[in-house]
Structure 1
Amino acid sequence: MTNTASTITTVIPLDQLLSAVSGLMIAGRWRRATDLLDAAQSAEARDRARLAMAAAEVALESDWFGGTSLAGVRLDAAERAFKEARLDGGWDLGFLLLRHGYLGLVRIDGRFRPGPDGKDPAALTALHADAGGLRDRAPDAVRRGWAEMYLGLITDNLLAERDLAPAHYEAALRAGESGDDLLSREALRHLGDHDHDSGDHPRALERWRRAAELGARAGTVPGTLSQQMLLAVLARDTGDEAGAAALAREVERWAGAIGAVTTEAQAHGFLAGADPTAPPSSNAAGRRS
C-alpha cells in the first residue's frame, strides 16, 4: 500500500488560527506551532504580517525554554512583513523586540548572567527606556502590566537594583488579576523570589504555589515545570531533601521530554547540589530568570 500526500484547502479565520497557535506555544509545542504558521497562506499583506509576528513570538518562547536561537531571524522577517504591508507593528512587535533584547543581555552562552558587569551600559539604559516607553503607551491595562513586568526584570536582573523591582512586579500582578493568568504567574514568581531571598519562606511558598496553579490553568507546561523547580528549592530549604529530590527528578524528566532544556539543566544541577536561586558565582546552575 502506497501512502500519498494530500492537501486540504480550507478557510480558517485568522484569529482562530492564532489562538490555536498560542495554545500550542504556551504548551511547549513550538515546532508544531511554527509548522502551522508556516503552512498558513493569505493574499492579504496585513494577515501575513500578523502571521510573521506570531512566528516570532513562538521562536522567542522556544529560545527561552528550549535553548534555541530562532527569534532573531523571525523578528527580522516580521519587521519586513509589516513594512511590506505599510503598517506599523505597534506595541506588540515592540514588546517582542524588548523581550528578545532582554534575553540577549541576561543569558549569555546559554546561561543566566545577571547584573551589569560585562555588559554595555548604553544597551542596558536603552532597554530600560524601551520598557518605560512601552508602559507609557500601552493600549490597555494588561499590556501595561507586561511592560511593568519587564521593567522589574530589567531593574532586578540587569541593573542589579533589586530594591526597586518589587514595585514593578506588584503593578504587574494588579494588571494580571484583571484577566491574564500568565502575567499574574510571572509576577508572583518574582515576588516570591524576593520573599525567598529575605528569608520569608512561608510567603514565598504561598506565592510560588499560586504561580504554579495559575501557570497550569493557563496551559504553560514549561512554565509550570520551572515553577515546580522553585518549590523543590523551598522543600530543600525547609529540610525535606527527599521531597525536593523527588520533585526535581520529575521536573528533569518532564522538561527533557518536551525539550525545555534550560529547566532540565536547572533540575539536573539541583540534584547535584546546586541552588538555581543563587547568584551564578555560588554554583554552576546560576540564578533563575
Structure 2
Amino acid sequence: MSQLPAAAVADAAETLMLAGHWTAAADLLDSAQTDDPGEQEILALARASVAVDRDFGQQSDHATAALGAVAEDSWDLAMLKLRNDYANALFKSGDRELRDRMLTLIKDAPDDARLGTANFWAGAIADNLYEQPNEAIEHYTLALELGDELTKAQALRHLGHHSHAAGNLEVARQQWERSTELLQKNGHLRPTLAQQAHLAILLRDEGDTAGSKGLATEVNRWAQQLGIPWLVAQTEELIR
C-alpha cells in the first residue's frame, strides 16, 4: 500500500477544492487512513476547509459536521468557523454578530499571511453584513499588503467593487483584471468565474453589450456545471 504524509494528501485535496472538485477532494481525504493523532487533525481540518468552501459556492450544508469533527482548537479552525457563519449570515440570514470574533482573529493571527486572511474576511463582514464601506476598504488594503496571492486576489476583487460603485471604471478594470490573473494562476475556479462575471458587468457599463453577454454566457455555463446557484442567477441577468 502506498503511503503519503497527511500534509501531502491535504495539499492535493486543496488543489482539487480550488478547482471546484469538492466531492473528489472530500473522497480523497476520506480515503486517507492514519493512526497518528497529529495527522488525523491535519486531515480533519482539511475536510472542514473543503466543506466550508463547498458550502459557500453551492449553499449546501457539509460544513456543520466537518467542523464538528475537528477535535483540536486552533486559529485555523476558528477562521473556518467564522467563514462558515459569515456565509450563513450572507445567504441564509444566520447570526450576524461576528464583529468580536473577527477582531480576535486579527489580534491573534500567528503570521502575516494569516493576518492578511483575517483582514480580508473582516473587510467582507464589514462590507456585506454591517454596511461599513470605509472600514471594509481599510481591511482590504491591509489584506492586499499582507496576504498570499489568493488573499490579494480577493482583496483586489472587493476593492474593485468600491471603485466600480464610485464610477472609477478604469481603476475597477485594473483591480478586477489583476484579481482574475492571480486567481487563475492559483487555480481557484469559483472566484475566478465570479470575477469574470464582474468583468462582464464592467463591459456592459462601458457600452460593450455584446461582449458583456458573451462573457456572461460562458461564466453561466461554468456556474451551472459547478452547481453555483447565485452565480447562475447573476449571469442570467446579464444575458437577458
AA in 1 matched with 2:108 = R
**Distance across 2 between alignment mates of 1:148 and 1:160:** 16
- Alignment partner, residue 62 of structure 1: 54
1:129 aligns with 2:87: no
RMSD of aligned Cα (Å): 1.3
Report the alpha carbon displacement of residue 30 of structure 1 after superposing the two structures with TM.
0.2
- Alignment partner, residue 90 of structure 1: 74
AA in 1 matched with 2:103 = G
Residues 2-151 of structure 1 aligned to structure 2 (within 5 Å): 9-78=1-70, 82=71, 88-108=72-92, 123-125=95-97, 127-151=98-122
**Distance across 1 between alignment mates of 2:215 and 2:78:** 37
Deviations 1:210-241 (A, max 9, x none): 00000000101111111100000000001100
SS at match of 1:11: coil
- Alignment partner, residue 231 of structure 2: 263
Identity %: 38
**Distance across 1 between alignment mates of 2:59 and 2:216:** 19
Q: Which structure has the larger Rg over C-alpha atoms?
A: 1
Which deviates further from its counterpart, 207-216 or 256-265?
256-265
1:243 aligns with 2:214: no
Residues 177-216 of structure 1 aligned to structure 2 (within 5 Å): 180-216=148-184
AA in 1 matched with 2:115 = R
Report the alpha carbon displacement of residue 128 of structure 1 after superposing the two structures with TM.
0.9
**Distance across 2 between alignment mates of 1:28 and 1:50:** 21
AA in 2 matched with 1:242 = A
What is the aligned counterpart of 2:196 among 206, 215, 228? 228
Equivalenced residue count is 240
Check whether the contact 2:212–2:238 (CA below 8 A) recurs between aligned residues: no
SS at match of 1:104: helix
AA in 2 matched with 1:69 = D
- Alignment partner, residue 154 of structure 1: 125
AA in 2 matched with 1:89 = D
Deviations 1:125-145 (A, max 9, x none): 4x1111111111111001001
**Distance across 2 between alignment mates of 1:224 and 1:132:** 28
Report the alpha carbon displacement of residue 104 of structure 1 after superposing the two structures with TM.
0.9
Residues 264-279 of structure 1 aligned to structure 2 (within 5 Å): 264-272=232-240
SS at match of 1:41: coil
**Distance across 1 between alignment mates of 2:233 and 2:8:** 35
- Alignment partner, residue 187 of structure 2: 219
Q: Any gaps of 5 or more consecutive residues in structure 2?
A: none
Query: What is the TM-score normalised by the length of structure 1?
Result: 0.80
Query: What is the TM-score normalised by the length of structure 2?
Result: 0.96
Higher helix proportion, which one?
A: 2
SS at match of 2:2: coil
Which deviates further from its counterpart, 58-67 or 212-221?
58-67
Q: Any gaps of 5 or more consecutive residues in structure 1?
A: 1-8, 83-87, 114-118, 273-289
SS at match of 2:57: helix
**Distance across 2 between alignment mates of 1:20 and 1:204:** 33
